[in-house]
């Protein structure tokens, strides 16, 4: 059965809340053989932290009672930053997944609608400074930045 990523996120968040209850239950039921170890709980916490960014961004963009266009650039930057962090991590268990996600992100980012970025520039909290910073980080070479700006 295919599961959406946010269902997995919710399940893992709840599991973390009941971490101690799982440990206590294992003392009551000696037949319980699937108890998670400390390393497993650490990995779950890392995964939850990673998915929390995606959940936050998707929830924000799903809002219908407030404008979201001006938030687009800043939130997409958050996604790009966490993907880049995981890609550059030294052999972390999430690195392979992050590399695939970053490749897909880069593919869609290349066709980003610049009107969304203009809305961010018009936001007095963001202005042009953030846009220049983000473009310089996402598009590493000057040629890439100029090509994207001309689109």
Tell me the C-alpha distance between 74 and 57, whole Å.
Answer: 10
Q: What are the pLDDT digits (tens) for 61-85?
A: 888 888 777 788 788 888 989 999 9
Structure tokens that stand for 43 in this block: 């990995």
Which residue's entry shows tokens 């946010």? 6
Q: Kindly state the average pLDDT of the residues 109-125.
A: 72
Single pTM value for the model: 0.73
Rounded to an integer, the average pLDDT of 6-27 is 91
Q: pLDDT value at position 14?
A: 96
Phi, psi of 125 (to 5 degrees): -80, -20
pLDDT digits (tens, 9 = 90+) for 118-128: 777 777 776 66
| pLDDT recorded at residue 142 | 62
- The CA distance from 58 to 79, in Å, is 10
Domain boundaries, the chain: 1-63, 67-151
Residue of 45, 51, 61 lying closest to 116 (CA atoms): 61
């Amino acid at each position: 059965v295919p599961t959406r990523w946010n269902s997995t996120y919710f399940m893992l968040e709840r599991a973390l809340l009941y971490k101690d209850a799982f440990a206590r239950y294992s003392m009551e039921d000696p037949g319980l053989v699937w108890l998670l170890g400390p390393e497993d709980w650490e990995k779950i916490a890392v995964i939850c932290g990673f998915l929390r960014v995606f959940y936050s961004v998707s929830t924000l963009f799903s809002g219908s009672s407030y404008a979201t266009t001006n938030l687009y650039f800043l939130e997409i930057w958050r996604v790009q930053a966490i993907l880049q962090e995981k890609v550059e991590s030294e052999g972390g268990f999430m690195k392979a997944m992050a590399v695939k996600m970053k490749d897909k992100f880069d593919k869609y980012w290349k066709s980003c609608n610049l009107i969304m970025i203009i809305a961010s520039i018009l936001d007095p909290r963001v202005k042009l400074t953030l846009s220049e910073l983000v473009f310089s980080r996402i598009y590493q070479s000057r040629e890439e930045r100029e090509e994207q700006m001309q689109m």
